[in-house]
Amino acid sequence: MAILCRPAVSVPEYVITMEETLELARARHADHPRLDLALRLIENTGVRTRHLVQPVTRTLAHPGFGERNRVYAREAKSRVPLVVERALEDGDVRAADIDLIIYVSCTGFMMPSLTAWLINTMGFPPDTRQLPIAQLGCAAGGAAINRAHDFCTAHPGANALIVACEFCSLCYQPTDLGVGSLLSNGLFGDGVAAAVVRGRGGHGINLERNGSYLIPGTEEWIAYDVRATGFHFLLDKRVPGTMEPLAPVLRSLADRHGWDISDLDFYIVHAGGPRILDDLSTFLHVRPDAFRHSRATLTEYGNIASAVVLDALRRLFDEGGADDQARGLLAGFGPGITAEMALGRWNRIPSPVAEDVR
């Protein structure tokens, strides 16, 4: 058994609105030949506000990759512990009860991973296993859930902690003027999320099956070009259409589990943009309101990469959850093009905690 407990989520205090984003684009790129198209695309994202780890003026500056990465490490160490503490509390476990920490992030680099720092500073046992995931982008939130499920299945009674830390604003590149880059400047936001996956006990989603899928021939559609100035985000215009080939994959996963993908009780998916949600509604034959939690994350926070799935799930918890044994889907999509998918049932009543035999 693996129960995904209530996620804890935090976004930084600096806010930029859609109106401010559009005005900055007009002011900084007034002579761009495709500015009108970029502005329309940004407006169509449905993003109302985004949160940034630094004030806008500092976000727009580029002090160099080294300095940006130092900001990443400093802000991660400042912001992650509070979110982890809340996640442990929500999962009703202590740091000493955690057997694996999965840390996902694609917006900065640390070696050793932040997992080592967390173990040294927050009371996690020295033999806690570490699994940093840095190159799955937005799909990493779903991958973290699935790897935690796999671990708890392989080690009955063990507990895993998932941490997603994304400071997308630190990847802003002022010299990248492609339409895809301008769109990403108005789409991505910053956020930190964490959640416990318990091998015994707990309240949340009882994870039952997971799967991964990569669309052949799409590995260059979402990518980083790593230069001296840092991570340069590459986004192919064909990415918004990827739900058409992925919808049958989601349906097949549910079919193998004896479920109808069009008749589940809740859907928690990565909201890379509004078309992703619109197309899933169409191709899965699911009412648009089924993706309201993912759409709310996109509207209020923008695309916070790997943290989106955890924030959308947090919103379902805040809404009161679902009926006991309600069936649902969790899914993240990212570079590859990769899909990480999971099926589970809502568990309203914590199951008994058996004697620890580890």
For the segment 223-247, what is each residue's pLDDT rounded down to a tens digit? 999 999 999 999 898 998 999 999 9
**What is the rounded CA–CA span in Å between residue 340 and residue 271?**
13
Residue 350 binned pLDDT confidence (cut-offs 50, 70, 90): low
Q: What is the Cα–Cα distance from 248 to 246, expressed in whole angstroms? A: 6
Instruction: For residue range 4-35, list pLDDT tens digits in order.
Output: 999 999 999 999 999 999 999 999 999 999 99
Three-state DSSP state, 281: helix
**Residue 253 CB partners (closer than 8 Å, separation 6+):** 209, 211, 261, 341, 343
Q: What amino acid positions are annotated as catalytic residues?
A: 138
The percentage of the chain sitting over the pLDDT mark of 70, rounded to a whole number, equals 97
Q: Quickly state the pLDDT bin for 354 (edges 50, 70, 90).
A: very low
User: How far lies 357's CA from each of 43, 94, 155, 157, 353, in Å?
Assistant: 55, 18, 11, 8, 11
Backbone angles phi, psi at 95, to 5 degrees: -55, -35
User: What's the pLDDT tens digit per position in 295-341?
Assistant: 999 999 999 999 999 999 999 999 999 999 999 999 999 999 999 99
More confident residue, 353 or 266: 266
Give start-end residues of each CATH 3.40.47.10 domain in the chain: 3-198, 204-347
pLDDT given for residue 40 in this prediction: 94
- The pLDDT confidence band at residue 352, using thresholds 50, 70 and 90, is low
pLDDT digits (tens, 9 = 90+) for 247-285: 999 999 999 999 999 999 999 999 888 999 999 999 999
- Class for domain 204-347, per CATH? alpha beta
pLDDT, mean over the chain: 94
For residue 1, the model assigns a pLDDT of 84
pTM of the model: 0.94
CATH superfamily of this structure's domain 3-198? Thiolase/Chalcone synthase (3.40.47.10)
